[in-house]
Structure 1
Amino acid sequence: MKSNARSKTQVNWLQKAREGWSHKGEKRPPFAIEPQKGQRSVWDFARPPIIEKVTKPVTIHHKGTRIANSQDALAVLETASPPTYYIPEQDIDMSMLSSMPRKTSLCEWKGSAVYWALKDMTDLPVAWSYPKPFSEFEGLKGHLAFYPQYLDCKVDGIKVLPQPGRFYAGWITPDLVGPFKGNPGTEHW
């Protein structure tokens, strides 16, 4: 951590947020769905999250227009959530996006996020990025993650389902089992 660049209050908040998770991927809770052959349980994903290289083709379209096409994506795997896919900027048609300078958030693991909208829908964030991620997630620099709730997102040609809820942006693929964080009553997961 780069504590010299953070206030004592922020460091305390980050530490408290990081320690506040009860599920850390070490043991599946009794309500977790047992994965079948070829499936993974999101309850086996670690916390803190890890970054996984994705070599399958990842595509993102809006109303039939391609926004991104990559075979060099990253997936962030975190307990209870389907992976969030991060696409390198060079694989994104950045001319379709505009930054949302007034919208930001802070992730206790990855750092300060900035948001992106489609140029024809400037009030709706459809993606975010970490221009200066915490050192543990430096690999996400120069990548954008997209909300599958608003776009046509596919992995290896298969359309993904969005993670429940409006806050999260995990991509549910057929090889995953949950239940997934996001529905009302799952905030404490």
Structure 2
Amino acid sequence: MGLAWQQGPLATRTVGHFLVAQPLPERMLFAEPLRRRMRVRYAGQWVADSEDVVLLHEPGRYPVAYFPSSDVLDGHLVADGRATEHRELGRTEWFTALAGDRVTPRAAWQHTGLPEHAAVLRDRVAFAWRAMDAFYEEDERVVGHAADMYHRNDIRQTSRHLVVRAGDRVVAETRRPLVLYESGFAPRWYVPREDVDESALTAADGQTFCPYKGLASYYDIGEHRRAAWSYLSAWPEVARVSGHVSFEPDIVDVRLDGRRLALAPGQKVLPHGIDRGLDPAELHDERNEN
């Protein structure tokens, strides 16, 4: 899922490998200019606004945006006297965010003991995602985490034969599924609603949130819990799968051209990043704010 998250090339569980004679370091960090204007909103105020953001990719983490200190509005961050040690980037000092009557401890951090090879992060501040109200690229809100430029979704139409069974019951059968190829994941197969026996689906409690596709709703199939899901209103970038249904091959029998599919290693999403977890409430908050 991107460059350093899930099974990306810099992740600790990557499915690929670099063709080099000597083994690479166990952990590699990668920093690059974002080349997008990014803003941070807190307590109804813009507290940072920059076109010079650096994005840090760290193994097993979501990408994190670092703002020049000069692009952070004065008076909103106060050093709280606490420091931690980053294994590669050294001493890290933390800040409390202030605006009006609102006070949020550990809302931002800065690496103050950087080694020379990481000087690109010097005099830069990162904001804890869930401590802020919102992050924006230009005038559009970014939810989940800073956008990973190496994460993509490609959707292809196919005429392959897909059959889903729960026991002896055929739950879905189609020769027109959509296949979604998402960075760091095995392909996922989406079935048009017209080719699904919807009487087999029972809406399940709880939703999950993908920063790249939107809000997913889940379905039980008989005794099989959360065996299927659907993005009822997928985001524009992946709108083709809106309303389609996908099925978990480790819960029900999913066969493609007669071959039973299995859940690929590392396929399940790990929801926790450097300072937060993916929470559907953030998407609801985004809708309420707009």
TM-score, with normalisation over the residues of structure 2? 0.43
Map residues 65-104 of structure 1 onto 2, 5 A cutoff.
Answer: 65-100=169-204, 102-104=205-207
Matched to 2:223, the amino acid is M
Map residues 38-117 of structure 1 onto 2, 5 A cutoff.
Answer: 47-100=151-204, 102-117=205-220
Corresponding residue number in structure 1 for 2:263: 162
How many correspondences in the alignment? 134
Q: Deviations over 1:56-96 (max 9, x none)?
A: 10000111211010011011102231101000011011101
User: Would the alpha carbon gap of residues 150 and 165 (structure 1) be closer, same or farther in structure 2, given more than 3 Å must change?
Assistant: farther
Deviation at 1:103, TM superposition (A): 1.0
Determine if contact 2:192/2:243 at 8 Å carries over to the other structure.
yes
Q: 1:8 aligns with which of 129, 134, 138?
A: 134
Q: What SS does the aligned partner of 1:56 have? A: coil
Greater share of helix:
1
Deviation at 1:110, TM superposition (A): 0.7
CA distance in 2, matches of 1:165, 1:151: 18
CA distance in 2, matches of 1:14, 1:165: 20
Deviation at 1:165, TM superposition (A): 5.2
Deviation at 1:127, TM superposition (A): 0.6
Provide structure 2 residue ranges, at least 5 long, that are not aligned to the other structure.
1-132, 271-290
Deviation at 1:12, TM superposition (A): 3.5
Deviation at 1:9, TM superposition (A): 5.2
CA distance in 1, matches of 2:180, 2:232: 16
Q: What SS does the aligned partner of 2:186 have? A: strand
Q: What SS does the aligned partner of 2:143 have? A: helix
CA distance in 1, matches of 2:264, 2:227: 14
CA distance in 2, matches of 1:80, 1:132: 23
Determine if contact 2:233/2:243 at 8 Å carries over to the other structure.
no
Q: What SS does the aligned partner of 1:136 have? A: helix
CA distance in 2, matches of 1:103, 1:163: 24
Provide structure 1 residue ranges, at least 5 long, that are not aligned to the other structure.
1-6, 25-46, 169-180, 182-189
Deviation at 1:53, TM superposition (A): 1.0
Bigger-Rg structure (1/2) = 2
TM-score, with normalisation over the residues of structure 1? 0.64
Q: What SS does the aligned partner of 1:167 have? A: coil
Larger RCO (CA within 8 A; separation ≥ 6): 1
Q: What SS does the aligned partner of 1:137 have? A: helix
After superposition, the CA RMSD in angstroms is: 2.3
